[in-house]
């Protein structure tokens, strides 16, 4: 309900001007959303199970591998905040929003993962944490009579933040994989960000 009231208000403001920075309204909306998430216990959402099979060629032979993860969730959604200006503009019957938002912390946890490749197997829990991420998104709300259609015009990751991966399971193997993944993330952070964008 609050979101609808804010959007109607923003549409009314947008109808009277070409472009406006709406940081204060968005900050209030985010404050209310964070509080509602915490009160309703929706700061955490279940993740779908992951199931990936892959094949690689080694000396001309196809070698299969498999990765799966279940019992997953994403939490700390209530750390969402504005990282830059939120600008609203109107062009006829189109309302355009450009926002820079981020999370202080996002935490992904899977209670069970399994990895199989050749004679290497590993299973246990998997945790990924991301601190201080930031995204810029632009979207259009197109009014067509009584209906509004929303389209995402652009979305780009401004910062992946600090990412850490931790796996439990067979101690030596998981310590090595955890160290390797964290090293790859640290050393190829900018490349990963460019690929995702």
For 76, the domain range is 2-196
Q: What is the CATH number of the domain that holds 118?
A: 3.15.10
Structure tokens at 32: 């209310």
Q: Are strands 94-117 and 80-82 parallel, antiparallel or unpaired?
A: antiparallel
DSSP structure class, residue 168: -
Residues in contact with 104: Cβ distance below 8 Å, sequence separation at least 6, in sequence order: 76, 79, 81, 131, 132
**Do residues 101 and 83 touch, judged by C-beta distance below 8 A?**
yes
This model's pTM is above 0.75: no
The pLDDT tens digits for 95-149 are 999 999 999 999 999 999 998 888 888 889 999 999 999 999 999 999 888 898 9
Q: Tell me: the pLDDT tens digits for 36-45?
A: 988 988 888 9
- Rounded Cα–Cα distance for residues 115 and 145 (Å): 52
pLDDT band at 7 (very low <50, low <70, confident <90, very high): low
Sign of CA dihedral 5, 134, 99, 144: negative
Domain count, the chain: 1
């Amino acid at each position: 309900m609050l979101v609808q009231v804010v959007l109607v208000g923003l549409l009314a403001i947008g109808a009277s001007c070409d472009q406006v920075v709406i940081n204060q309204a968005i900050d209030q909306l985010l404050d209310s959303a964070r509080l509602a998430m915490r009160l309703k216990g929706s700061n955490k959402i279940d993740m779908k199970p992951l199931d990936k099979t892959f094949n690689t060629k080694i000396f001309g032979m196809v070698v299969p591998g498999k990765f799966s993860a279940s019992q997953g969730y994403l939490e700390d959604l209530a750390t969402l905040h504005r990282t830059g200006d939120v600008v609203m503009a109107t062009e006829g019957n189109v309302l355009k929003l450009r926002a820079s938002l981020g999370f202080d912390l996002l935490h992904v946890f899977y209670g069970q993962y399994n990895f199989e490749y050749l004679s290497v197997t590993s299973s246990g829990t998997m945790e990924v944490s991301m601190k201080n991420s930031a995204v810029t998104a632009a979207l259009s709300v197109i009014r067509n009579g009584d209906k509004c259609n929303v389209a995402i015009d652009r979305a780009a990751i401004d910062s992946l933040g600090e990412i850490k991966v931790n796996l439990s399971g067979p101690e030596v193997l998981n310590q090595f994989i955890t160290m390797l993944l964290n090293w790859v993330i640290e050393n190829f952070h900018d490349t990963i960000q460019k690929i995702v964008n």
